[in-house]
Structure 1
């Protein structure tokens, strides 16, 4: 009687690796990112329907937000996790002040209204001084956005408002110390992927990114109510 050979075991089905954390962050915040980009104020701004007073008002809000962010960054510079994301290459406050000086004659926001929505945003950023992962969430939301769509927005605003590309009035959008933004962003995302946060902590970071986008959108909505035609 012929022997019966045991069948060869079937290979295990390939297991899809979990997506990197940076991809999860990008995907889960995509809808809010698009909502901010498509807000009434941003649309009016890019189409030249916001006068210079409204443009200056937006810059004043930027100063308040980035002063909070960069103040916390300085506090957390030596943190083993958050400190890995702090970089002088990203610092925006001097550029914002230069834009204000060009447009108003003063590098400060004194005399310019800081909106309630802006105060809430800045307070939320400062509240993360004792939660480094939460600070990273806000750092990621602001600076990765600045290095992505922000560069294109700066070019449009220079044309709309008659500024030299990357010059006075739109220096906020120019990263002189980052000659290759795509490479910088790839490295930043790799650092995000390497942080050994637990699943629960990663979920908290995602939630804080969503909060950051919501707060930013609230600023645009409040700006639109004052500075957009028909707003």
Structure 2
């Protein structure tokens, strides 16, 4: 996956960047998840998006706890999205408001990605910066309500297969997944510029 092979993420996972880079990344995630979860209560009754709105997936409170640990209680002061993050969050918010199939595409891309690859990030963060195992600083990656991630992902994919959409709409949703990956990659590239390692 392009996002996972970006310079920023490989440098972060390789221990070549400091905890400040990890904190900055966590801040950017907060903006995206705020957009994903802002309308969750309303979307829960929607026939397309509703089946995907699961309380055990919600990440915003965990992100806020991590940011308080990483940045201190005043973490909201000076909190600023990168332009790439603003673009990403705006697209998520637009889909949540106007196109439920597109929202599901972003939901799938983010939550299942963090449930899978995010566990690698959590392990490296615990090892590199000494966070307590599954403690503050990495709570975003700890899905406490999901006992069997593999079974959960299978169930989630079954919900995707059952989405009430014709073939054209499903193609549009696949295209939106690709757009979500591209938007995510844009955030990694922007973070890479901000934390460029000297040659």
Fold conserved between structures, TM > 0.5: yes
1:78 aligns with 2:45: yes
- SS at the partner of 1:147? helix
8 Å contact 2:101–2:173 — kept in the other structure? Answer: yes
Q: For residues 40-83 of structure 1, give each alpha carbon's deviation from its aligned partner in whole angstroms, at most 9, with x where no partner exists.
A: 01000001111122111111101100000001323311101100
1:165 aligns with 2:133: yes
8 Å contact 1:47–1:160 — kept in the other structure? Answer: no
8 Å contact 1:99–1:170 — kept in the other structure? Answer: yes
How far off is 1:108 after superposition?
Answer: 4.3
How far off is 1:147 after superposition?
Answer: 1.1
The residue number in structure 2 matching 1:23 is: none
Cα distance in 2 between the residues matched to 1:87 and 1:108: 27
The residue number in structure 2 matching 1:27 is: none
1:43 aligns with 2:1: no
How far off is 1:161 after superposition?
Answer: 1.3
Of 95, 109, 122, 2:76 maps to 109
8 Å contact 1:49–1:228 — kept in the other structure? Answer: no
1:119 aligns with 2:86: yes
Cα distance in 2 between the residues matched to 1:107 and 1:132: 35
Cα distance in 2 between the residues matched to 1:183 and 1:75: 27
Gap runs ≥5 in structure 1: 1-33
Give the structure-1-normalised TM-score. Answer: 0.82
Of 124, 127, 131, 1:156 maps to 124
The residue number in structure 2 matching 1:205 is: 173
Cα distance in 1 between the residues matched to 2:59 and 2:34: 9
The residue number in structure 2 matching 1:186 is: 154
Would the alpha carbon gap of residues 107 and 143 (structure 1) be closer, same or farther in structure 2, given more than 3 Å must change? farther
Q: For residues 127-158 of structure 1, give each alpha carbon's deviation from its aligned partner in whole angstroms, at most 9, with x where no partner exists.
A: 11221111000000000101111112211221
Gap runs ≥5 in structure 2: none
8 Å contact 1:82–1:136 — kept in the other structure? Answer: yes
Of 21, 27, 48, 1:60 maps to 27
Larger radius of gyration: 1
Would the alpha carbon gap of residues 107 and 184 (structure 1) be closer, same or farther in structure 2, given more than 3 Å must change? farther
Extract structure 1 runs of 4+ deviating beyond 4 A: none
Cα distance in 2 between the residues matched to 1:200 and 1:109: 42
The residue number in structure 2 matching 1:140 is: 108
Cα distance in 2 between the residues matched to 1:54 and 1:153: 13
Give the structure-2-normalised TM-score. Answer: 0.95
How far off is 1:113 after superposition?
Answer: 2.8
8 Å contact 2:48–2:164 — kept in the other structure? Answer: no
Q: For residues 196-215 of structure 1, give each alpha carbon's deviation from its aligned partner in whole angstroms, at most 9, with x where no partner exists.
A: 31110001000100010000
Of 90, 94, 99, 2:57 maps to 90
